[in-house]
Amino acid sequence: MSEPLRIAIVGAGAIGCTLAARLLGSGQAVTLLARGNSLARIREDGIRLNDLDGQHHVCVVASDDAEALGTQELIFICTKAPALRAALEQIQPMLGPDTVVVPVVNGVPWWYFHGEGGRFAGQTVQAVDPDGALSRALDMKHLIGCVVFITAQTVAPGQVESNNPHLMIVGEPDNSLSPRLERVRQVIEKAGIEARSSDRIRDNLWTKIIANLSSNPLSVVTGATLEQLYSLPALRELVSSVLHETLLTAAAHGARVSIDPHTFLELGANMGPVRTSMLQDYDNGRPLELAAIGDAVLELAEQMAVPMQVTRNIIALARFRGEHRTFARSPA
């Protein structure tokens, strides 16, 4: 049996806790970089995950000091996009020459134009990395891209529920099928999570981007669950418009999205009464991931002269709600 890897999870939200619980359950040497109330509760009671495989209760070494956790072989960054810059700065003491870093973050990644070549080679996505800080914070040699399909909700610090299957897709930014990519895939698979390697990771990214963009901003505007967004006729029509606009943008950038729109809508409706991650953030007063999930796609659309008027309007409404939620008042 191979020796367990030294794996760090950065972020104690729903995805971070799900990964930590599953990886620890498979025998890996996992540590957690967290802070605040989540850190205190996890130190006291560990992580409790309730998913399709049952209930998992694991104890994990957790700290808010990256240097204390030491050099890692594999790091999963499970923060929200607005916290990514701080996370990349924080993990510096954990990086060794061969450390692999896997950002498990929604939206268009800052590295989208790195490694593949083409017309925009080397450019940054301004909406997510306006000053190039993310690109400078992490040498691309460390990075493996990731698309995560895990719907999970935090019910209390360190306590997570997930009622749908887990899937993670990993891929090198240069689309190579490297030995280290296979090692990462195997680690995820052994944790009981369906894991796939991709030689076209941007195709997979667009599938998730479409899922996020067609549901998250509209959920903030309406308060609707995934089931409602993808099945109620009025909302389904809006979702369909966003879906088609984003598909056009993906195609303009050379992506191949294999799933057809009808199937996409049916899968969304079958997710059940799940509140999107952005709606959960809205409810809890946290910043919304509109830059990575929304603005970055609009930026990529503008590069190819693809109009996205419905999408643009929904993003604007979601941003307004996010910026003005503190002024909401209950009826007298």
Q: What is the DSSP string of 112-148?
A: TTSSS-STTTT---TTT-TTSHHHHHS-GGGB-EEEE
pLDDT bracket for residue 216 (50, 70, 90): very high
Which residue in the list 80, 141, 190, 208 is annotated as catalytic? 208
Residue 53: pLDDT above 60? yes
| Encoded tokens for 279 | 């709606």
* Residue range(s) in the chain whose domain bears CATH number 1.10.1040.10: 203-321
Please say if the pLDDT value at position 327 is more than 80: no
CA within 13 Å, CB half, 29:
11
User: Nearest-CA neighbor of 151 among 136, 167, 139?
Assistant: 167
Domain with CATH 3.40.50.720 in the chain: 6-199
What's the pLDDT band for 190 if we cut at 50, 70, 90? Answer: very high
Least confident of 91-95, 140-144, 153-157: 153-157
**DSSP labels for 262-320?**
HHHHHHHHTT-SPPPHHHHHHHTTPPP-HIIIIIHHHHHHHHTT---HHHHHHHHHHHH
CA 259 from chain center: how many Å?
20
CA distance 140 to 30: 23
Note if the pTM is more than 0.75: yes
Please say whether the structural domain 203-321 has been given the CATH code 1.10.1040.10.
yes
Higher per-residue confidence, 327 vs 244: 244
pLDDT at 96: 97
Give the CATH class of 6-199. alpha beta
Active site includes 208?
Answer: yes
